[in-house]
Amino acid sequence: MTALATAAERAPRGRAVIISAVGVTIALWASAFVAIRYADRQLAPGALALGRLLVGSIALGLLVLIRREPFPSRRDLPGIVVCGVLWFGVYNVSLNAAETRVDAGTAAMLVNVGPILIAIFAGLFLREGFPSRLFAGCLVSFSGAVVIGLATSRHGVHAILGAVLCVLAAFAYAGGVVAQKPVLRNVSPLMVTWLACTVGALSCLPYAGTLVRQLGHAGGSTIVWTIYLGVAPTAVGFVTWAYALSRTTAGRMGSTTYLVPPLALLFGWIFLGEVPPLLVLPGGGLCLAGVALARTSGRLYRTVRSGPPPGST
């Protein structure tokens, strides 16, 4: 069998693995909305973020030790720190706090500015360009997120601070992704995720007293959901995200997160008995159509003939 034939056979399998990683990420991040609905009843926004990140850091740290992952060089540390502070720290605290002031539909609508910001920042700072179909797809998906937000919003944005916190979360999310992308050229997705999660946990240490105090009065279900948030959406979800991000552009990868809102609504329907309004259906359809359009702006997953990028797992 020739090397060319072998590479041709590996390419479809490689793309299937990456698409599976994206699917796992989207499913776990969507499930986080259900988990947060339970956990934030007894934990404050900062305490919940810290508890989630501590669990994620411990779980990932054990895996790093088992795999004996090499530590990154000093030149890669600034990007990891920026990613950890923005995406793992600021994003989690801001979103948790926002959802105590605005309903989930409005929060989802505002936070979904994030993928558009990723596409813009990636074009400016990562030189990924500004593919017209990528931006068209993001706009179509964003319109779907707006429809979902309006359909599920009960009170609108009455609290200005809640709206500001949602926008802050969107900017932190976009900044964290753009900072993470270059680091993945040299460092494994597992190591990047563990260090960024640990940095995020350290940035949330001011909430340690609140976490200890509230955990002492929290029920068993709250503790279980906090552990789930740390292990599944944080540890597993962010590693699979980083793995896929290392093999595509930040802009196109960001567009796939528009699949989270409709899937989160589906999970809410199944696990919480929250029947979504009919207007959610065309909104979800727009989200799917936008992601499909964004993917046609070039191959979403590039085939690397020489093998995976340095440091990948």
Contact 90, 178 (CB under 8 A): no
What is each CA distance from 9 to 46, 127, 276, 301, 310, in whole angstroms?
48, 31, 43, 15, 22
Asked if residue 303 belongs to a domain, the reply is: no
Q: Is residue 302 part of a domain?
A: no
The answer to whether residue 309 is domain-embedded is no
**Digit-coded pLDDT (tens) for 208-251:** 999 999 999 999 999 999 999 999 999 999 999 999 999 888 88
In-domain check, residue 11: no
What is the span of the domain harbouring residue 217?
19-295
Number of domains in the chain: 1
Q: pTM for this structure? A: 0.81
Summary mean pLDDT of the chain: 82
In a domain, 63, yes or no: yes
Quote the pLDDT of residue 147.
Answer: 78
Measured in degrees and rounded to the nearest 5, phi and psi for residue 70 equal: -70, 145
* 129-184 confidence digits (pLDDT tens): 888 777 788 888 788 777 777 776 665 655 678 778 888 998 999 999 999 999 99
98: CB partners within 8 A, 6+ apart: 107, 110, 111, 162, 163, 165, 166, 169
Find the angle CA(172)-CA(173)-CA(176) to the nearest 5 degrees.
80
102 pLDDT higher than 90: no
Q: Is residue 6 part of a domain?
A: no
Residue 3 domain-assigned (yes or no): no
Q: Residue 167: inside a domain, yes or no?
A: yes
The pLDDT > 70 percentage for the chain reads 81
